[in-house]
Structures are given as C-alpha cells and as structure tokens.
C-alpha cells in the first residue's frame, strides 16, 4: 500500500506567504491553505522547506507546526478513509480547521455553546434516561429549552459563547444578568446553572473543549428559601365535608384533591389514577410517571368514601383547570387565613412574595407537600419516602413544611408548660 503524502509549498509572491498543503494518495489529490505563514526569504521554494539560514526560532516554529499538522492529517485520513468518508479538498480544509480548533461558523456545535445545547435538546427527544429507563420527559426538554432561551438572550448583549469559555467569569456575568436584568429568583437561577453544568459535562464527554472552572464549587447559585403552602388535617376535613352536590365541577375537583392529599401522588399520576389497580384497601401503581417506581398505597378512609361514591373512577382534569378549581374549593371551605407565600404576577411572569389569602396559594403540588408534612413525625420518614418515592432524606425533608406560626405555637406551648411547672414548685 502506498503511503499518503503531504507536501507544503509557497505559492504566493508576497511575504508573509500562507503555505499551501497538498495531500495525495493514489487517485486522491487535494489542496488547502495551511495557515502557516512564512517570509519568502526564509522559505526554499525549490525544495519546499524552510531555509537553513532562517533564525532558530522561526525554523523551530515552522518545522514543529508542519510536523504536527502532518501527523494530524495522516491520523484523520486513516480513520476517515477506512470509514468510507469522501477525501477531498473540503475534507482537507476541515482537517486544517480541526488542527487549529477553528469552528465552521457560529453554528458549529463542536465549539459554540448554544448550538451544542440545541443539538443536545434535539437528541434528548429520543434519548433514554439510564436511571429510569424512560425517554426524557417533555417537561425536562421544555426546561432545557427555557435555559437555552435565557443563554441566547445573554448572547445578544455579550456576544457568542464558546463552550470552553463557560467559566467563573461567565457565571458571574450570567447570574448578574438573570438577577439584575431579568429579575429572576435564586431558585430559578440555580436551575439554569444546574442545566448549564449538565450541558458542559455532556460536551466534555463528547470530547469537546471545556473549562475546568465549571467544576468549581463556586459555579452554583443559592436557591431562595421556598415558601410552600400546605393544608393541615383540620383544613383537609373542611374540604372533605364541604357540600358541593350542586356544583359538579368543583365536586369533581374536590374529590381528586382528596385523592392527592391522602396518597401524595403528583398531578401527572393523579391524572392516570383510573389506570391503577385499586382494591378495598390498597392502590397499586406499577410505574409512577416521573420515577417509574412501583408504589403500593393504603387507602385513607376519606379516599375510600370518595372511590365508593364514584365507583372507583375519579374525574379527569387538566393541570390548569385542576389548579384553578381547587383554589375555589379552598375558598368555599373558608381557608382564607392571610398567609406568607408567593404568587406569579401575570405581567412580569415572576413570583411575588407577600401575604395572601391561603386559598390563593394552593396548587396541585400543595397536596403532595401536605401528605408528607402531615405524616412527618407520626411514622418513620422512610415509610413516607416509600410512598412519595423520594430517593434521599434531604430531598424528602424539603417537602416538610411547618409554618412559622406553628413553630411559634410549639414554643408558646413549651413556655406555658414551663410556667405551670414553676407555679407547682412554688406551691410545694
């Protein structure tokens, strides 16, 4: 087999000249500019080599660059020719660009960050999550797309980003852009940063240049302290005992609400409730929507009554309607206490912290939190986690939502008990 050959020559007449690289093997014969520049006075055009009279620094630089490029092109040829790729001038130019890590325009995902993210999102539509064995969910892809949108907005002001430039300086500028210009909460910013770290990690796995600073413990953002509302047992009883016979719409929402409050299921699983195996005392779920876990949940008496009333068929509601209807249910049940929480401002699409009637703060996620909070301290955490499918204690404890008022009442009870003890001691 005849070995592939590479030659460098100076075709121009004006210094410095860009050496032309010629690659040939059998019938293959192609050319490209090498982007190795030399002065004509230092180049022997007859022998196509650097002159001995060239300075040692120039000679060293030219020879080392030619040798490195030659090895790169030969190695790429051995790989691509065997794979059946077309070897021509376009291929050679690409290999020269690869040698210099030169991108083919700002849409080149090998170098630029947003094109890589776009590629990653597109591939995610058919990618399997190895942890769950499922295709990446539409919600996750939507979250990735939102992060891409934020980065694109940042680029419009600060210029195109290369993946290797995602470092602590970018982190400082991007988080400032989100917080100051965008008015986003710490929780939202932390989610964007988490996605960015994941994108860079994937780029590194694929062999693209990344910056080691992405692994710094400073490359993060502090989440805001969450203010999540839950319903206590007394409030749940008010909801359960509410007479809604004259309003089938809210009656259905209330019954689905009771199911969520006493199972801890996510709204996506509540919407699939009628596909589960339901007996007189248990609900068996072969595979939950988010985690794919098998769950067996004992039936609470209130849920038993709801299922008996509806012949074990719960109403079907969209997430949007369900969240809207359960607020009405809570208002009718008298759950109107002024409570600290956050409500999204429709004009800015940002959550605004403040004091609101409690019913306005209730959403489908409040049901799951209520389930975990009301059982916490009553039975072992691991038992509750087996139902909620939380994987870690830290993750689970984020769901335990005791209010400041309840903490104050606990302290007040303790002080009252201490005062009674002191009085009894004085009497003795």
pLDDT tens, position by position, 79-120: 888 888 899 999 999 889 888 877 777 888 988 999 999 999
Contact between 151 and 196 (Cβ < 8 Å): yes
Where does the pLDDT of residue 7 fall: very low under 50, low under 70, confident under 90, or very high at 90 and above? very high
Token couple for 204: 């590194």
Locate the domains of the chain by residue range. Answer: 5-99, 113-215, 233-406
pLDDT greater at residue 412 or residue 346? 346
Q: Which residue has the higher pLDDT, 132 or 89?
A: 89
- Mean pLDDT, residues 407-412 taken together: 63
Q: Which is higher by pLDDT, 182 or 422? A: 182
Q: Distance (Å, rounded) from C-alpha 256 to C-alpha 425?
A: 53
More confident residue, 137 or 300: 300
Confidence of residue 203 (pLDDT cuts 50, 70, 90): very high
Range scoring the smallest mean pLDDT among 83-92, 318-327, 329-338, 347-356: 347-356
Q: In CATH, what is the architecture of 233-406?
A: Orthogonal Bundle (1.10)
pLDDT band at 40 (very low <50, low <70, confident <90, very high): very high
Predicted local confidence at residue 105, as pLDDT = 79
- Using alpha carbons, list the distances in angstroms from residue 33 to 18, 105, 186, 423: 7, 17, 50, 97
pLDDT band at residue 428, thresholds of 50, 70 and 90?
Answer: low
Query: Which of 79, 128, 119 shows the shortest CA–CA distance to 208?
Result: 119
Decide: 36 and 18 in contact? Cβ < 8 Å: yes
- The residue that leads in pLDDT, 281 or 190, is 190
> Which residue spans within 156-300 are E strands per DSSP?
277-278, 282-285, 295-298
Element (H, E) at 270: helix 267-270
Mean pLDDT (whole number) for 256-270: 91
Confidence of residue 20 (pLDDT cuts 50, 70, 90): very high
Q: For residue 279, what pLDDT is reported?
A: 85
pLDDT at 405 over 60: no
pLDDT value for 1:
41
pLDDT at 100 (0 to 100): 84
Which of 201-210, 260-269, 344-353 shows the lowest per-residue confidence on average (mean pLDDT)? 344-353
Strands (E), 93-250: 128-129, 134-135
pLDDT tens-digit profile of 359-399?
A: 999 999 899 889 888 888 787 877 878 787 777 777 666 66
CATH of 113-215, one of 1.10.3470, 1.20.120, 1.10.150, 2.40.128: 1.10.150
What's the distance, Cα to Cα, between the start and end of the chain in Å?
A: 110
Neighbours of 217 (CB within 10 A): 5
Average pLDDT value for the chain: 87
User: What DSSP string describes 296-310?
Assistant: EEEPPHHHHHHHHHT
pLDDT at 409: 62
CA distances from 369 to 23, 230, 375 (A): 67, 6, 10
Q: Cis omega before residue 16 (within 30°)?
A: yes
Question: Is pLDDT of 206 > 50?
Answer: yes
Q: Which of 226, 227, 201, 205 is nearest to 214 (CA)?
A: 201
pLDDT (tens digit per residue) in 50-76: 999 999 999 999 999 999 999 999 988
Element holding 341 (H helix, E strand): strand 338-345
């Amino acid at each position: 087999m005849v070995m592939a050959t590479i030659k460098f020559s100076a075709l121009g007449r004006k210094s410095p000249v860009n050496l032309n690289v010629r690659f040939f093997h059998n019938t293959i014969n192609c050319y490209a500019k090498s982007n190795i520049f030399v002065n004509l006075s230092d180049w022997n055009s007859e022998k196509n080599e650097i002159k001995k009279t060239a300075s040692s620094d120039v000679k060293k630089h030219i020879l080392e660059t030619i040798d490195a490029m030659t090895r790169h092109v030969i190695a790429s040829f051995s790989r691509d020719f065997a794979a059946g790729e077309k070897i021509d001038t376009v291929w050679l130019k690409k290999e020269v660009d690869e040698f210099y890590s030169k991108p083919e325009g700002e849409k080149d995902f090998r170098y630029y960050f947003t094109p890589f993210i776009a590629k990653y999102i597109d591939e995610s539509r058919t990618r399997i999550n190895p942890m769950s064995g499922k295709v990446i969910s539409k919600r996750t892809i939507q979250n990735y797309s939102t992060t891409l949108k934020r980065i694109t907005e940042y680029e419009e002001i600060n210029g195109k980003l290369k993946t290797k430039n995602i470092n602590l300086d970018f982190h400082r500028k991007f988080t400032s852009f989100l917080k100051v210009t965008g008015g986003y909460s710490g929780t939202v910013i932390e989610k964007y940063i988490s996605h960015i770290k994941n994108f860079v990690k994937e780029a590194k796995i694929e062999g693209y240049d990344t910056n080691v600073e992405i692994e710094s413990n400073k490359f993060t953002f502090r989440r805001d302290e969450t203010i999540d509302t839950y319903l206590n047992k007394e409030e749940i009883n008010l909801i359960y005992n509410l007479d809604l016979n004259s309003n089938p719409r809210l009656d259905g929402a209330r019954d689905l609400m009771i199911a969520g409050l006493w199972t801890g299921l996510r709204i996506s699983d509540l919407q699939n409730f009628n596909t589960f195996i339901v007996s007189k005392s248990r609900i068996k779920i072969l595979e939950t929507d988010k985690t794919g876990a098998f769950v067996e949940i004992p039936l609470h008496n209130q849920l038993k009554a709801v299922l008996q009333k509806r012949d074990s068929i719960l109403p079907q509601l969209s997430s949007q309607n369900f969240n809207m209807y359960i607020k009405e249910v809570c208002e009718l049940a008298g759950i109107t206490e002024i409570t600290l929480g956050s409500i999204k401002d429709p004009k800015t699409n940002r959550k605004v912290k403040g004091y609101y009637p409690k019913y306005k703060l209730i959403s489908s996620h409040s049901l799951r939190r209520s389930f975990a909070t009301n059982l916490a301290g009553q039975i072992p955490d691991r038992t509750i986690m087996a139902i909620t499918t939380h994987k870690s204690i830290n993750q689970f404890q984020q769901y335990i939502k005791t209010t400041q008022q309840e903490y104050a009442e606990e302290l007040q009870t303790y002080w009252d008990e201490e005062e009674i003890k002191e009085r009894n001691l004085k009497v003795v």
